[in-house]
Amino acid sequence: MRVYFDNAATTPIDPEVLKEMYKVMENHYGNPSSIHGHGREVRTLIERSRKTIANLLHASPSEIFFTSGGTEADNTAIRCGIVDNGITHAISSQIEHHAVIHTLEAMQKAGTVKLSYVDVDSKGTVDYDHLEKLLKENERSFVSLMHANNELGTLSDMERIGDLCEQYNAIYHSDTVQTMGHFAHDLNKLKTHFMVCAAHKLHGPKGIGFLYVNHKVKIRPFIYGGAQERNMRGGTENVYGIVGLAKALEMAYADMEQHRQYIQALKSYMIDQLKANIPGVKFNGETDADKSLYTVLNVSFPCNDMADMMLFNLDIAGISASGGSACSSGTDIGSHVLNAIGGIGAGPSVRFSFSKYNTREEVDYTVSKLKELCMAYA
């Protein structure tokens, strides 16, 4: 049996998304910057996709900029948001994705910005009182706090953060890669200035995403080279990727509640089965359904002697999962997220992440293999 429980790293592309992309690849090959008919019809596809995404988010099409994915979008928001608005102080947390942390650390090292870290508790929840204290103590700040942690699944309160940022005239960027398409983001209500998306996290293609830039914030281009994206991102557009992204997000919104209920039930079932079959199992991050991303479950196992072999043995059993974030796989320093919340002991930690394609049978198979491994290395 083959089981894929690494959907937080990337999701299988939906067949309906592929169909839309094939149509573009086969029939619409013009350069969207060309003024002739072939170019104009492709430009229409891009702008139609932009409008679709903007309508779903209750944003203006002029606030949506297509990028190569979440990392570029985060880098653009952070670097341009700070430099182009003359900000010298940034607030983030030590459990952010490396696309955020490494960018801010590089800017601090270069002397561009002073960086403060807001406290998080043992479940990865932001200390909002400490956030307000940091906002009070510093001149206008740039706040970068993700909506859902990619390793733990713990959610932040975007409305509360947005209210605090508005109160202290701060710019608010949220890495929403893990929640885009899984939560309905209403940008009429959320007081965010920057949000990001990567299509491959919601059954779309890799190599395409977007950055939302609130019209109240002005930034200059991060990538120069042409007049594409209304002079905001040079380079010929990834047209079939853009069409695939819009289709994937549209489908995600159409079936969001149905998928949420199904996946949350699957996650809850796995929690129950792990508790029943593996004494001493622990869960990292928030597991309360109202405070946690329903697609992510981070688990620590009591089999200390196989801390370095758990993922390898799962892979042999045909089960794909992750030891923390896929972006740090292959390193030997452990998860920076788990380290930041106080570590999880000597046993192995595994992130299981679910999608609409997973089943209870896959959970049963996985739990049975985990039970065998923990018994063998008890």
Catalytically active residues, by annotation: 327
Q: Specify burial of residue 261 (Cβ count, 10 A radius: 0-12, 13-18, 19+).
A: exposed
CA neighbor of 176 nearest in space, from 134, 212, 219: 212
Q: Are 63 and 212 in contact (CB under 8 A)?
A: yes
Q: Are 20 and 244 in contact (CB under 8 A)?
A: yes
Strand partners, 351: 298, 322
CA 77 to each of CA 142, 179, 196: distance values in angstroms, whole numbers, following the listed order? 10, 18, 9
**What is the rounded distance in angstroms from the CA atom of residue 234 to the CA atom of residue 103?**
21
End-to-end CA distance of the chain: 25
CA neighbor of 243 nearest in space, from 195, 200, 213, 205: 205
Q: Is 286 helix (H, G, I), strand (E, B) or coil?
A: coil
Strand partners, 171: 142
Q: Is 351 helix (H, G, I), strand (E, B) or coil?
A: strand
Q: Are 249 and 204 in contact (CB under 8 A)?
A: yes
Residue 360 φ then ψ, to 5°: -65, -35
Residue 377 φ then ψ, to 5°: -115, 20
Q: Are 46 and 32 in contact (CB under 8 A)?
A: yes
Length of the chain: 378
Q: Are 264 and 287 in contact (CB under 8 A)?
A: no
